Structure 1
């Protein structure tokens, strides 16, 4: 007799559905208790979460997402999966999760629409990168509201101050006006910076051109490994040997590192990786292995790795200028003597 109406409704649910809800919450709770999860535990959680989530009720989904929004160890694939859910489910995660980096937030705002973008605005300490992206997506009004939030709170306190002391109220109103003006100036500067900054500006980093990217996609589509390696070497301004070594990494990690470090597009990069490395097409939950691999890479670290490879490559293949009377002759390896690159299966 002490059961609530909600409890009665819960009992009316099919037994299998309630069991899956329990399994989902038990999985999330167990993951929360891991202070420092290992790579194996993170991978296992990523593989289990999506199927359990999809099979559970809406209420269980909301509870699971709310719990994970406090965790600092949510795998990137799971974080992207949750952030892409309908806003009624994903809102707490978008606002509070420390596992959403700038790149993921911008991607979610671009692909999921206005509701997700307006929710992202509610995060504390939004970076300039995310703010600029939201401005570019014409969510400036929402961004302006978040920027001027301190001023709004200050203005809301003015009536109480006016009752206590008119002089304090006047000072508070003046300060609130000043804050609003500063927020507006900041917003205008951000908008101007966004409009004036060229899309190809990667702060001096080596960047793939549109033509090079199109050629890589074309050769990947036909699985033309030799032509792909030649184009990749040209893109890196490096030897063909370095391009071949990158492609011969059967995990696909080195090619993914190269593409991300060069600033290649997401869709094009995933297509290339899946064409040359078939295991990256495998679906884990609702996410391809190629996407999981891509999300684990940091763009700046990838760019630094590329430059390290290029320096080593230049050192290895630089041909020293020798005098005619040198004690030993210069030995050069012809192209026919190098191992031929085979198409990666």
Structure 2
């Protein structure tokens, strides 16, 4: 995934020099199939000083792009992981570079927001588990229970509750939205909705995203789950376009759901070009057709149930008459 290319593809005239340098350097590194230690060192020396000057959006893209790369430079990963959880979430959830000692240090430094994200990793280290359990936080306890197969409450924690319990996270989101309102680069028709879906996808909680996605499209959860599927597909892309998401926002959502969906620059460019060619009105017409099919299926199911009830009732009456 080469998120940095969105800076050039979405707005060729915008962006600071720090943003451009950071995105270009990460793009170059991600394009190398087997980078040498010298490549990682060069990226680290160039990128780490730029983080303080780069915009939240570009730092967020950098974290997502590097989240599954085992040979990413550790000092850069640690710097990004110590950023606000809106930016660091992909690394906290998936980065193989972060070891238990690193994660414990991040929890001690950043607090419960980072701890909740880290708790969703597959954790076997006893010291890290003890650090997480020390919070006595329902969200953390639920995530750890799911890993060990212990019974958990059937009530899912709503995304709004997570936001309410994390004022720092909420403030960061508002700052990001304010930043994006100041520029036309990569904006969605409904930027608040785009941010909300991106947050839900990057939190690595599929049930959260499925619920928010179904609500946005006014579809059943079952239909939403079918559309989302297990990998990048045309129906999901059309659905995101119908909601007015920009190519950048759509790509962030797809990455939060499925990881690295475009692993080279060429495929990323093709995605942006093809996504921009989707007509929003036609995409909405497709969604309306899905709703019609959904309602038709519900009606057929209801008629089948009524026919079965009638048949059972008729059979019962015949039996009573014979007796």
TM > 0.5 between the two?
Answer: no
TM-score, length-scaled by structure 2: 0.40
Higher relative contact order (CA 8 A, sep 6+): 2
TM-score, length-scaled by structure 1: 0.38
